[in-house]
């Protein structure tokens, strides 16, 4: 995790959204370039020391560590950032991201990002069939008149 945060410092990122985080060898995560690392079960938000904004966590009344949200205020302008990891819980068909009150969460200017495990032609012309997760997210995009911003660049670099 420390390498992810170091890369973010080198890129000049002010906020980093992390899904499926792995804590450091000693079970902790910290980095001198970040003033706040908000840790949930499957999603973390890290805020740079250089960020010129105020961050206020949003109470989701659910999400079980699979969804987190913060309100960001910069120069008296406010928007919300939602970090999502949409997957079934172990030994269950429940998906905590689906159980969130999205109407309440998306009632302001909002950026929703994360790992939705959803492939759809709505945001990727090369996608094949539309699995269940994608149908849910397509509904969110349509119901809340969201704009998708997706390049076809890799957002994850594996081994």
Q: Residue 44: give its domain's CATH number.
A: 3.60.10.10
Whether 34 is covered by a domain: the verdict is: yes
| Distance between CA atoms of residues 156 and 159, nearest Å | 10
Residues of the chain where predicted confidence (pLDDT) is lower than 50: none
Under DSSP, is residue 92 helix (H, G, I), strand (E, B) or coil? coil
Domain that holds residue 73: 2-117
Whether 129 is covered by a domain: the verdict is: no
Domain count, the chain: 1
- The answer to whether 72 touches 78, Cβ cutoff 8 Å, is yes
Whether 60 is covered by a domain: the verdict is: yes
Whether 47 is covered by a domain: the verdict is: yes
Whether 16 is covered by a domain: the verdict is: yes
pLDDT of 154 reads 62
DSSP label of 132: H
């Amino acid at each position: 995790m420390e390498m992810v945060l170091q890369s973010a410092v080198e890129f000049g990122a002010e906020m980093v959204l992390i899904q499926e985080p792995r804590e450091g060898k000693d079970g902790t995560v910290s980095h001198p370039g970040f003033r706040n690392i908000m840790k949930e079960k499957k999603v973390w938000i890290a805020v740079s020391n250089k960020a010129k904004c105020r961050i206020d966590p949003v109470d989701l009344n659910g999400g079980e560590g699979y969804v987190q949200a913060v309100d960001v205020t910069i120069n008296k302008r406010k928007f919300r950032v939602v970090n999502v990891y949409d997957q079934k819980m172990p030994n269950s068909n429940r998906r905590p991201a689906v159980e969130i009150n999205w109407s309440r969460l998306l009632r302001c200017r909002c950026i929703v990002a994360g790992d939705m495990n959803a492939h759809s032609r709505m945001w990727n012309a090369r996608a094949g069939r539309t699995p269940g997760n994608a149908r849910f997210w397509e509904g969110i995009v349509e119901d809340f008149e969201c704009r998708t911003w997706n390049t076809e660049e890799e957002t994850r670099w594996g081994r």
